[in-house]
Structure 1
Amino acid sequence: MRLKHSAIAVVLTAMTALGTALTSTTAAHATPGRHATTFAHGPSRPAVPIVEARGPGVFPHSVDYDPDSRKFVVGSLAHSTISSVGQDGTVRTLVDDKDLVSVQAVRVDSKRNRILATNVDYGLADRSAPATRFRVAGVASYDTDSGRRLWYADLSKVAGDGKQHLVSDVTIAADGTAYAVDELTPTIFRIDRDGRASVLLRDDLLAGKLDIPDFLNDVGMSAVAWMPGNILVVAMADGSLVRVPVDHPEQAAKVRLTTDLKTITAGIRVLPDGSIAAISSGLLSGQAAVVQRVRPGPHWKSATVTVTDTVADPVSSAVTAGPRGTTYALSGGLAALLAGGPNDGFTLRPVNVR
Structure 2
Amino acid sequence: MRARYLVSAMATLAVVMTAGAGLASGGENVQAPRSPKGALPDVINASAPSLHPEGVAWDPARKSFLVGSVRHGTVSVVGLDGQTQTLVNEPRIVSTVGVHVDVKRNRVLAAYADYGVGTRSTEATAFTQAGLGIFDLTTGRTLHLVNLAIGPGPHVANDFALDPAGNAYVTDTASDKIFKVDVNGRASLLAQDPRFTGPAGDGLNGIVWHPGGYLLAVRYDTGSLLRISLRDPVSIVEVRLDQPLVGGDGMLLRPDGTLVVATNALGQSLEGTVRELRSRDGWASATTTRNVSPWTDPVPSTVALTSNGSYVISGRIDLLIGGTLTDEFTLRRF
**Category of TM-score, reference length = shorter chain:** 0.7 to 0.9
Separation in 2, partners of 1:286, 1:179: 30
How much has 1:6 moved relative to structure 2?
A: 11
Q: How does 1:274-285 map to 2 (within 5 A)?
A: 274-285=257-268
Partner of 2:254 in structure 1? 271
When Rg is computed on C-alpha atoms for both structures, the one with the higher figure is: 1
Partner of 1:85 in structure 2? 78
Of 169, 174, 190, the match for 2:180: 190
Q: How does 1:95-114 map to 2 (within 5 A)?
A: 95-114=88-107
1:313 pairs with 2:297: yes
Partner of 1:50 in structure 2? 43
Separation in 1, partners of 2:268, 2:153: 30
Q: Give the SS at the match of 1:288.
A: strand
How much has 1:307 moved relative to structure 2?
A: 3.5
Question: Unaligned 5+ residue runs, structure 1?
Answer: 9-34, 37-45, 210-216
Partner of 1:119 in structure 2? 112
Of 4, 8, 11, the match for 1:4: 8
1:241 pairs with 2:234: no
Partner of 1:41 in structure 2? none
Give a deviation string over 1:310-338, Cα, whole Å, max 9, x none: 313331111212342x2111110212211
Aligned Cα RMSD in Å? 2.2
Q: 1:129 to 1:277 in 2, by over 3 A?
A: same
Partner of 2:237 in structure 1? 253
Partner of 1:65 in structure 2? 58
Separation in 2, partners of 1:322, 1:163: 36
Separation in 2, partners of 1:77, 1:259: 30
TM-score calculated relative to the size of structure 2: 0.86
**What amino acid maps onto 2:184 in structure 1?**
D
Equivalent pair of 1:316/1:331 in contact (CA under 8 Å): yes
**What amino acid maps onto 1:4 in structure 2?**
S
Separation in 2, partners of 1:118, 1:102: 8
Partner of 2:16 in structure 1? none
Partner of 1:180 in structure 2? 170
Q: Percent identity, please.
A: 35
Partner of 1:150 in structure 2? 143
TM-score calculated relative to the size of structure 1: 0.81
Q: Give the SS at the match of 1:300.
A: coil
Q: Give the SS at the match of 2:319.
A: helix
Q: 1:248 to 1:47 in 2, by over 3 A?
A: closer
Separation in 2, partners of 1:286, 1:253: 30
Give a deviation string over 1:19-76, Cα, whole Å, max 9, x none: xxxxxxxxxxxxxxxx99xxxxxxxxx8833111121210001111112211100011
How much has 1:188 moved relative to structure 2?
A: 0.5
Q: 1:132 to 1:202 in 2, by over 3 A?
A: same
Partner of 1:133 in structure 2? 126
Partner of 1:199 in structure 2? 189
Separation in 2, partners of 1:303, 1:7: 41
Separation in 1, partners of 2:321, 2:70: 11
